[in-house]
Every structure is written in C-alpha cells, then in structure tokens.
Amino acid sequence: MAVHRHTSRRRRPTIAAPLHRFADLWRKGGGVEDYALSELRDGHRRSLRRMGSEFEITERTICLDVLPDAFNGFRIVQLTDVHYGVFLPEDMLRQAVQMVNELEPDLVALTGDFVTYSRAYIEPVAEILAGIESRHGAYAVLGNHDFRVGAEQVAGALEERGIEVLRNRHTKLRRRGQILYLAGIDDWNYRPDLGKALRGIPRNASTILLSHNPSIIRAAARANVPLVLSGHTHGGQVNIPLLGNIWGRSPEQLQYKVGWARLGQTQIYVSRGIGTIVVPVRFRCPAEIANLTLERAS
C-alpha cells in the first residue's frame, strides 16, 4: 500500500521577515512602537510601559517683568510629548488628564508630539485630551512627530474637540480687560514662522510662545519674547549615572534642553513630557506634568 505523505513546506525565517511584519503593521496604520511591543509577551509589555513612567508634577513660579495685574498668579499646566500609542496607552493618558484637571489650571499648553509614528492614534488621543478642563481652554502646537504622521489630521482632530492649535499665529487671552498674548509656531524642522506668529503683538507686550522644539530660544530672545514653553527633548528620557543622557551631562550641555533657563530677557521652560520614544522606558528622568505659575517680578 502506498503511503502518501503530506509534507507542508515550512517557510524558513529570513532576515527580511521582521521588515515585512513591520511594513504590514504600517499599512494597517500601526507604527514602529506597535511592532516593537508586538514582539513581547503581555506581561513584559505591561512592565515596560510602567518603567519610570509615573507622572511627576513640577511646581514652578516664573517671574516676568511685564505681566498685567489680571494675570498675576495665572497658572499654566503644560503637557507635552504625549506620544500616544502602545508606549503610552489609554489608561495612562486618562490618568495624566485627570492629574491636569485636579490642578485646576487657568490654561493648558499642549506642546506637541501627540503621536509617534501611527496615524491610528490621532483621533483617540484628541478624544482623550478633549477631557481637559481649564478656565481659558487648551492650546496646542505641533511637534516633529505630528508632522511626520500628518500635521493636518492632528491639528484637525484637536480643533474639532475645541483645542485651539496655534500654527504660526497668536491669540489674545483676556482677563478683566487686560491681555496676555499666546503665540505658537510649527515645529523647528517644519518651517516655523516666528515673525508671522508674533505679527501684530505690541513690542514689550506680555507674550508666551509655545514651541515644541526649544531650539527656537535664540530667535525668541532676538524677538524679545518673555517666555517660551517647549518639550521635544524628553529630558533625555534615560539618564545613566556618570554618563548622563543623550544631550550630555554638564549644565552647559543641558541648557535649553531640560527645565528652566534664561537667554537675555527670554525665559524658557522645557518639560520632560509624559511619553517615550524608541523604547518605552524612562530612567532617572520621570515623566512630567508642569504646573507653572506666572508672577510679576517685583
């Protein structure tokens, strides 16, 4: 009796296989972060997401030479570099929004990188951020990742939910008949136009500039902008003892990249942000929600 053997041909894994899997995810609207975590088991994913990702609230008073009376004590909560997706999933973002709301901000500044590589997260991130409560609303600028994924889509999704996106323009915040100017520019690598954003603002007016990338600091100082709020650097994200982070470790190397600094009359605050890129890990560089109080310098 003849025995028929059914042999199924097994495809041998090739070097190109991971690339094909990534390309497949990309086509479905996924991104690098989905690919990286899809390689791990559930338990590992959960622990990676949690590594160093607890949110820290930074309390900081910013003293400004020019500040209308009505804005003395005005509180801006800054949330930046959300990078919504597998690295920073829904429960964590909802927790961050709740923490922002508990701070009862006068204004919320969202300084870019809402997503990382995947357009699938644009609508969901906007939906969750729509839960932000603030007396004067929430304002946003776009980061480099938002441009890579789709600037129009990100801006559209935020605007639809009442979050105003400042793309090379400014707006006036009014309190008791007094004005604070809030300007915002597109990302440093995607044709920011500071001149256009500031056009019409009286010189020496009280102005705050939102810029995803802190590299704008020199141009902002030349334009006499009193305060810039930025993100982008993630504070280095990983800070190894003795070695420091990717930006360096000396105060000079870290100037304008992490925390508060001043150049001439211009002050800048660079938040570490809440999200992560490349690896879903922070080390000695906690995720940050910045609670900034404006005060007139005496």
Instruction: Identify which of residues 33 and 113 has a Cβ nearer to Fe ion in the complex.
Output: 113
Instruction: Identify which of residues 226 and 235 has a Cβ nearer to Fe ion in the complex.
Output: 235
Instruction: Identify which of residues 74 and 121 has a Cβ nearer to Fe ion in the complex.
Output: 121
- Give how many residues touch Fe ion by CB under 5 A: 2
Residue 288 sits in the site that holds Fe ion (CB under 5 A): no
Q: How far is the CB of 231 from Fe ion (least distance, A)?
A: 6
**Quick one: 279 exposed, middle or buried, by C-beta within 10 A (0-12, 13-18, 19+)?**
middle
Residue 113 sits in the site that holds Fe ion (CB under 5 A): yes
Q: How far is the CB of 203 from Fe ion (least distance, A)?
A: 32
3-state SS of the chain is CCCCCCCCCCCCCCCCHHHHHHHHHHHCCCCHHHHHHHCCCHHHHHHHHHCCCCEEEEEEEEEECCCCHHHCCCEEEEECCCCCCCCCCHHHHHHHHHHHHHCCCCEEEECCCCCCCCHHHHHHHHHHHCCCCCCCCEEECCCHHHHHHHHHHHHHHHHHCCCEECCCEEEEEEECCEEEEEEEECCCCCCCCHHHHHCCCCCCCCEEEEECCHHHHHHHHHCCCCEEEECCCHHHCECECCCEECCECCHHHHCCCCEEEEECCEEEEECCCCCCCCCCCCECCCEEEEEEEEEECC
The β-bridge partners of 181 are: 172, 207
Q: How far is the CB of 143 from Fe ion (least distance, A)?
A: 6
Instruction: Identify which of residues 34 and 81 has a Cβ nearer to Fe ion in the complex.
Output: 81
Interacting positions 235-274 with Fe ion (CB under 5 A): none
Interacting positions 51-110 with Fe ion (CB under 5 A): 81
Rounded Cα distance between 174 and 186, Å, is 24
Q: How far is the CB of 179 from Fe ion (least distance, A)?
A: 31
Q: How far is the CB of 279 from Fe ion (least distance, A)?
A: 13
Instruction: Identify which of residues 33 and 81 has a Cβ nearer to Fe ion in the complex.
Output: 81
Q: How far is the CB of 81 from Fe ion (least distance, A)?
A: 4
Instruction: Identify which of residues 122 and 173 has a Cβ nearer to Fe ion in the complex.
Output: 122
Residue 33 sits in the site that holds Fe ion (CB under 5 A): no
Q: How far is the CB of 83 from Fe ion (least distance, A)?
A: 6
Instruction: Identify which of residues 120 and 221 has a Cβ nearer to Fe ion in the complex.
Output: 120
- Positions that interact with Fe ion (CB under 5 A): 81, 113
